[in-house]
Amino acid sequence: MNAARRALLKHCTALAAALAAPGVLAQGAPTQRLTILVVGDSLSAEYGLKRGSGWVALLEQRLAQEKIAATVVNASISGDTTSGGRSRLPALLAQHRPTHVLLELGGNDALRGLPLAMTQANLDAMAQAAKAAGARVLIAGMQVPPNYGRKYSDDFAALFAAVAKKEDAALVPFLLKGVADGPQAASAFQADRIHPREEAHATILANVWPVLKPQLLLR
């Protein structure tokens, strides 16, 4: 074998090994496994449900069905507020290095009648921190009954869209659409009338998935 053929064979062998290596596509472009960090409250933490039946667990199943390589980190805590999420987020970003962050917080702020300006500022700060860490952001909007007056409820519902617009984040307008406002709303909730039953979580995922999937396909 002459020197030219030996050099060609060596080059081809090296190229084949490189293409076969993990994380490399046939065209030579590196792949990246996605990490979706969900920072939420009891609606995402499977409150009152058996483990593995909430919408975040259903999201993991959907990703597998769609053959989208992604890890889901559910960092949701029942009772959490936007202040709690804001304080927890820096450590979560450092630990998990997510490619996508889904913020599902604010409902407990409203239940406690907390100032809307504070809720909005906290969501702003979380979105900014996630973006600074290199993640795409999705915000899950929420609505509440007019316990504190119609204006509070309307302004609360509007702040999620305001944050999403300001921070160029994706938005699920109302996480509980088809659950809290459906014809069988009363039967969709547990006895506390706050937390959806297991069967309602498929509807919650159906609200999230059409917004999240396009974000996952952006590289």
| DSSP assignment letter at 178 | T
Task: Please enumerate in sequence order all residues whose Cβ is within 8 A of that of 87, keeping only pairs 6 or more positions apart, or say none.
Answer: none
Residue positions annotated with a catalytic role: 42, 192, 195
User: Exposed, middle or buried, 204 (CB in 10 Å: 0-12/13-18/19+)?
Assistant: buried
Distance, in Å, from the CA atom of 131 to the CA atom of 167, rounded to the nearest integer, reads 9
Supply the DSSP string of 110-126, one letter for each residue.
HHTT--HHHHHHHHHHH
Cβ-contact 141, 161 below 8 angstroms? yes
